[in-house]
Structures are given as C-alpha cells and as structure tokens.
Structure 1
Amino acid sequence: MDLADYLANRRKLVEEALEHVLPPARSFPPLIHEAMRYSLFAGGKRLRPILVLAAGEAVGCPPQRLLPAACAVELLHTYSLIHDDLPAMDNDDYRRGRLTCHKVYGEAIAILAGDALLTAAFGVLAAQVEVGSSPEATLAAVRELAQAAGSQGLVGGQVVDLLSEGQPPEAQLVEYIHRHKTGSLIRACVRIGGLLGGATTEQLDKLTRYGEDIGLAFQIVDDLLDIEGEFYYTGKVAGSDSKKQKLTYPACFGIEESRQRAQELATRAAIIAAELGEAAWPLKAIARYIVERKG
C-alpha cells in the first residue's frame, strides 16, 4: 500500500465513524445539528485523525481501536476552524472550498456549533474505554487533548496570533504562535495515538518529537500556501494573511528560508519515524507529504 492508498483507506474509516458520533441533522433543535454537520463534513484531508491512527499503528495498535479518539480530534479541530473564521477572529468567508459556517448559519449559531463540537469531542474520546482502552490510558488521552486545546495550547496560540497582527516580524513570537495554534493539536494527535496504542516511554518520546516537527512544518507550509496556493487546492482565498498583517514565517524569514525550514523539519521527522520501525512507514511518508502538499 502506498501513501495515497493509505490516506484514502484511513480517511474512509474516519468518515464512516464520524457519521455516528453526532446526532442526526434533523434531531431537535435541527438548526444546530445541521450547522455542526455542515462544517464537520465540509471535506478536508482528515490528517489529524489519521495521525492518531498512524501513531497507534506504529506501536502495534489496530486502527479500528482508535476511531473514537480519531473522531474526537476531528470534532475539536472543526470547532477551532469555525471559531477561527468568525468576524471577530480571522473573518474568513471560505473554508475547505465553501462558505464558512457563520456565512451560512449566522454568527450566533456558528459560535454555538463550535461550542457543541468541542464539548462532544471529550464525550467521544471518553468512549475509548468501550473499545478496549484502559481507563488510565483514556484519561491520559483526555488530559492530552485538553492541554493541547487550552490557553497554553491552541487557544493561547490564537490569542498571540490576534495580538500580533500588524506588529513587526519577530522570529520567537511566530515560532510560539505556530507551535501552539497549529502544532499543539498535531502533537497531541500523535501522542494520543501512542498513549492509547500502548507505546513505551521511548516510543512515546519519539512520537512526541515527530509530532512537534511535523506540527511546525505543517503551519510553515500553510503560510507559504497563503502566498502561493490556489483556491482549487486550498479551499481558501490566497493572501488573507498579508491583508490582515499576520505574523507568519515568510514575513519573518522570507519564502525560500521558510521552505527550507519546513523541509528540514520534515526530514528530521521522517528519520524519527524510521527509528520506530517498519510499522511507522505511514508516519515517515506523511512527514514528506506535509511539505509537498498543495492544499
């Protein structure tokens, strides 16, 4: 199986599982469930849940056993996108190639849809005990996701991102934003897969370092795609970061140095994945995919 087949197969597993973790669209009150599903099933690569599965597989855990956790991180990720797109935040009109949640359902329902997805994520993650995970491992995964999403993770990164708009480029600050706003959740996905998959201390350390490297590389590439990307691939209008005077990697280091940094991080992550053995080949391939993607 090559990476394209692997990603397609695991994406299908995740999509099928996601269909069952939320109430049906017509459940009362239908408006909120329609809005939640509108954003959750708007497409996307499902990279974060796939990373949960791939990390677990790297330490010998079948992917089916990790589907609740995979769904949980996708619910949380979708909440973050809905809120990130709001007028009070990044004020984006398009996400994944179609109108953002607040453009379709209004700001109030979009906020509540994000709140509901965030809340649901932890209920879904707790269901790991129903598929054979120990209460201890499940609790560790819940803690991991909460830390990644909170004020010292995703939310903290978003706050600094907003406060830095229009400020002079500063390398240390952009590194903080990228490692927290984007990198913290990607790191958590890999660690959650390891924790629930029964990773040893050594394996979990390698997974952690891998997640940190690809998390930063992913956001650097996103910065580059905002400059060079095409709507067909990215699903977003290019140039939004520069219009908002966002603090980005290219703004600090230029395009070529940013591209080189992403490549270095991906190479290092691939080496770490190789140290985990043959079962970690998807992680190794994903590291390269992250820097080669067009959207």
Structure 2
Amino acid sequence: MDPSERRAGVAALFDQLAPGYDQGGVPWFGPIGARLVELTAPRPGDHALDVGAGRGAATFPLVSAVGPTGHVTAVDLSPAMVDLLRTEAETRAVTTLGARTGEATPLSTEPGSFDVVTASLVLFFDPQPVETVQGWVTLLRRGGRLGLSTFGPTDAAWTAAEAVLMAYAPPEVVDARTTGRAGPFASTDTMAALMEAAGATDVDSHDESLEVTLPDAAAWRAWTMTLGMRQLWAAVPDVELPDAMALIATALEADRGDDDQLHLTQQVRYTTGTRP
C-alpha cells in the first residue's frame, strides 16, 4: 500500500473511532501517556510536541509538566480527534496548547523547535517508522528528549483471546497486533536500535506491566470496541460472533483471579532518547 494511502486509511479509521475512543471506563491510554511523559522528563518552560495525540492521553500530562511558561503542540492525522482534543482543552481552560491536523515532519514543522517530542502508541501505524523517527529527532533542539510508547507482549490468556479475532482480520489490516509486532517493534532491543539509527543517544527501551481488570469476556469486548481493535471486531461475521465470543471467554478464564475478576496484563514498551 502506498504510504499516503495508508496514512489516509489511518486517519479515516480514527475519525470513525473518535467519539467513543478510550471512553470505556478502563484506565488504559491515560496511564500509558502519563508514564511516557514522566520517562521523557519535560521541564517547566519547555516547548513540547505530542504526535498522534488522539484525545490527549500524553498531551495533557505534557501541559501539566511544562507549566504556564511552556507550550504544547498536539498533532494528529484525524480531524475528528483534533476537534475533540480542542474541546477538552477548552473544558479544562488550557491556554498553552495548540492542536492541528496533519503530520509532524521537518517539512511541516521547523527543525530544532522542541525540547520534548512524545508519540504514544502511534508509531506502529506509520508505514515508514525509521524515517519518521529520524524526522522527530530533527525536530528536537540539542539535548531534547524523544519518547515513544509501543506494545510488548500480552499475557497468555489475552494473547489467545486476541488470536480468535485475528483469525478474521483481513490481511491488509493495520493494527498494533499486526504492524506493531514485527520489524523494529519486535523487542526492546529492536526499538533501541531504531532510536539509535535515527541519531538519538542515551537510549533506553524497556517494558513495564499494565494490568486491566474486567468482569468477563463481554466486558472485554465492550472495552476493546472503544479502541483500534474495533476494526477487528467488524471483520467477524454476525453469524460467527457467538462462537468467537465463546472461544474468547474460554481463553480469558485463565486470567480469572480469586476476586472473580479477570486480570489481564499488557507489557507496554517505553523507548526514550536524546538528540545529541
């Protein structure tokens, strides 16, 4: 697929997802975005860029970190996401945030403009990740910090449940479970190598556990329908959904704890580096 076509497809997907995106009541993008900001270590007064900002999981922690003397620029391919982000900023009375639709590259953004760049759970949608990260490093001032979050493994039960859905996924689907688990996204070592190849120094890449607690498979479906996984559910024929749900429920039971709740564990991969 042509890179411009793929980016257009990603924008269209997230325009569709935007109204309910991450509105399932499960702490997910918020904790990941906040931890990414913490690891990237912005300071009061910094100018920060959040790429693939979505509804602001990393954007608003950046706003808090840089304080009233700093500024945050949020960029997303999806116009609907940007509209919702602006609305949320107005609700919070945030005045140090600018949001725009599009990409953040040396062609669209002045090189050396930022002290911090973050991209939370977005790079695996990009058809040219190496070139993209090189561009993000260029946008930093000397000594500026770049932080990326991607996905590591899920626990065995979660992996088995996702495998049921993936059996229905069309081959061209772009998702964290396809493009996000190959090539540079395969391990902490490959993510560190990507960051170093982009010209960053002081690189660290490591996984941290994030637990999701849910009552049953129906709740897992309802929650994942508010994420990018919605496109996977859409590929399951209605007539086959009951059988798929039965297989998913059986898989997830392995994560049921003594409190009668499912405890699902995702490894989140955080990769940070500095522009020398």
TM class by shorter-chain length? 0.3 to 0.5
TM-score (norm 2): 0.33
The structure with the largest strand share of the pair is 2
The structure with the largest helix share of the pair is 1
TM-score (norm 1): 0.31
